[in-house]
Amino acid sequence: MKIVLATENKHKIEEMKTYLNNLPLEILSKEHFPKITLEETGETLRENALQKARTVAKTTGFWAMADDTGLFVEALDGRPGVFSSRYAGEKATYKENVEKLLKEMRDVPEKDRGAFFSCVLALVHPDGREVVVEGRLEGVIAKEQSGAKGFGYDPVFWLPDRDCTLAEISLEEKNKISHRGRALFKMKGILEGLIKMEQQ
């Protein structure tokens, strides 16, 4: 079975490919279809994930899977949320977004620094079949950055159980506990069912 990963984000592609590598899937990514433009104009992660997956499924004729992820910070009433990639501006870098977050959280005490990542994965077939799953990871916004692995907000996402940030653990370890890993776990079962059906 062929599936196209409908994301421009190389880090997400790496995490998804690593997670799905033992399934009999031919995994293509958006790089194979450079002419497709992905838009995110929805108000929720679900709408955005579906929008990206629908575009790619329709254009390529294959199953397409898209991920939309947000960081929801309690002390900021859930911001940056669905706007996580554009927190410090339309074309903001990871560094600018993280710096803005640390600045906004500067005076927030430890006990109020709770946050969670939500990852919504949408799997869409050009014939209209659609599946949506979500995975979450709870943590705490650190006071400063630590670690050089991962991407995005990982260097400030503190894991109290492990006493380190998401940027201090390996990709394999991240996939075992993360929002994306949890969503991928749910999606893997669905993909296994679809692969079996296609083989019959």
CA–CA gap between residue 38 and residue 78 (Å, rounded): 25
Part in contact with ligand ITT (CB under 6 A); list of ranges 63-71, 100-108, 121-129, 140-148: 63-71
For ligand ITT, the closer of residues 20 and 195 by Cβ is 20
Q: Which residue sits closest to ligand ITT, CB atoms considered? A: 152
Annotated catalytic residue: which of 68, 107, 112, 161?
68
Cβ closest to ligand ITT, residue 76 vs residue 195: 76
Instruction: Please give the sequence-ordered ranges of beta strands (E in DSSP) within 13-125, or none if there are none.
Output: 26-29, 63-73, 80-81, 114-124
68 as an active site residue: the answer is yes
CA distances to 14, 50, 84, 133 from 66, rounded to whole Å, are: 13, 7, 16, 11
Cβ distance to ligand ITT smaller for residue 171 or 195:
171
- β partners of residue 164: 159
Both structure tokens of 96: 């600018």
Task: Note whether 116 binds ligand ITT by CB under 6 A.
Answer: no
CB of 135 to ligand ITT, least distance (A): 10
Centre a 10 Å sphere on the Cβ of residue 161 and count the other Cβ atoms it contains.
8
**Would you count residue 118 as binding ligand ITT (CB under 6 A)?**
no
In eight-state DSSP terms, residue 36 is P
As a residue count, the chain comes to 200
Is the four-CA dihedral 49, 30, 40, 144 of positive or negative sign? positive
113 touches ligand ITT (CB under 6 A): no
**Which of 3, 7, 51, 115 is the binder for ligand ITT (CB under 6 A)?**
7
Q: Name the one residue in this structure whose structure tokens are 């079975």.
A: 1
User: Can residue 97 be called a binding residue for ligand ITT (CB under 6 A)?
Assistant: yes
Give 2 or 136: the residue with its C-beta nearer to ligand ITT: 136
138-157 mask for ligand ITT (x: CB under 6 A)?
Answer: ------------xxxxx---
Buried b (16+ CB within 10 A) or exposed e, 132-149: bbebebebbbbeebebeb
CB of 39 to ligand ITT, least distance (A): 9
Given the rule CB under 6 A, which residues bind ligand ITT? Answer: 7-9, 12, 38, 40, 67-69, 84-85, 94, 97, 150-154, 178, 180
Residues annotated as part of the active site? 68
